[in-house]
Chains A and B, each alone.
Chain A
Amino acid sequence: MPFHIENYLDGQKVRDVSFTSVQVNVGVPDAQFQNPNEQSKLGG
């Protein structure tokens, strides 16, 4: 798993992300990605 991502735009580094912890299969709930507005529509 990569721990370091660099993004370049037209040759210039614009973003650098260094991960200190990466875990897989931790059971990320679908709710983390669900649109709050859509949830409220469904609920309401």
Chain B
Amino acid sequence: MTRTKSTILAIGCALSVCITLATPSMAAAKAPIRDPQALALLAQCGTAMGGASIQDMSATGTLTTADPKVSPLPIITQSKGAAERFDIFFPDDAQTYVLNGGDSWSVQQGKQTDLPYALIAYRRPEHTPALACILDIQNPNMSFAYIDQEKFQNGLVEHIRISLPTVGMTTPIPSYRNWMFFWTLKHWWFSRQSASSSTPRPTKIIQFGQHNTATIGRSGRS
């Protein structure tokens, strides 16, 4: 059981670790890309889902891991701005993970532990698409680039890349850096419907990386 819990935490933190490792801190930063087309689509997405009016969020559900020996676990997720809290209820332990920038912490087996800033520096609430649309726009150091329209499942979607500009990197990128670089890319597809409908209703948002894919399912009203 302990191993399973550790696995869950490790999985949860893996992406953040790689993102952080791939974020050079020494050399001068390249100017971020602020593509007007990408920003306009994100703004439209946020407006369509009432992102600006969402102050906080609370969700309850069930967490299922890849370990078949572990039964589905109750989970409560809360978010406010970029801060997130996960309460996971194991049969023998209630665990809490709070991801809140430099003030992140967890509680396991009743013991509270601070989480390193490096693990969660660029983590965002990915389960709340409206917030995902608007949160990083406020950060002047983030890049937004419009890629193209793409087919996804049965629909046309807009592909927007949200990333932290690379710093002082020269080509060719070493393979391990290249591997991690893809982790830093956040690709957001927005339903074409949200861009064209008079009553926009995004139907799906997908976060995608070459080595990690996090699918955020259907959104909102049907």
Contacts and interface: CB of A to CB of B under 8 A. Distances in A.
A14 to B, nearest CB: 5
A36 B56 contact: no
B112 A5 contact: no
B42 interface: no
Contact of A19 (B61, B65, B79, B114): B61
Interface string A3-42: 1111111111111111111111111101011111110000
B80 A14 contact: no
A37 B78 contact: no
A2 interface: yes
B71 interface: no
B220 interface: yes
For the complex, would chain B's binding face be called helix, strand, loop or mixed by DSSP majority? Answer: strand
B37 interface: no
Interface string B206-219: 00000111111111
B62 A17 contact: yes
B193 to A, nearest CB: 15
Contacts of A18: 61-62, 64
24 contacts: A1-B128, A1-B129, A3-B217, A5-B215, A5-B217, A6-B214, A7-B215, A8-B214, A10-B212, A11-B213, A15-B66, A19-B60, A22-B57, A23-B59, A24-B56, A28-B80, A32-B78, A32-B98, A33-B98, A33-B100, A35-B100, A35-B103, A36-B105, A37-B114
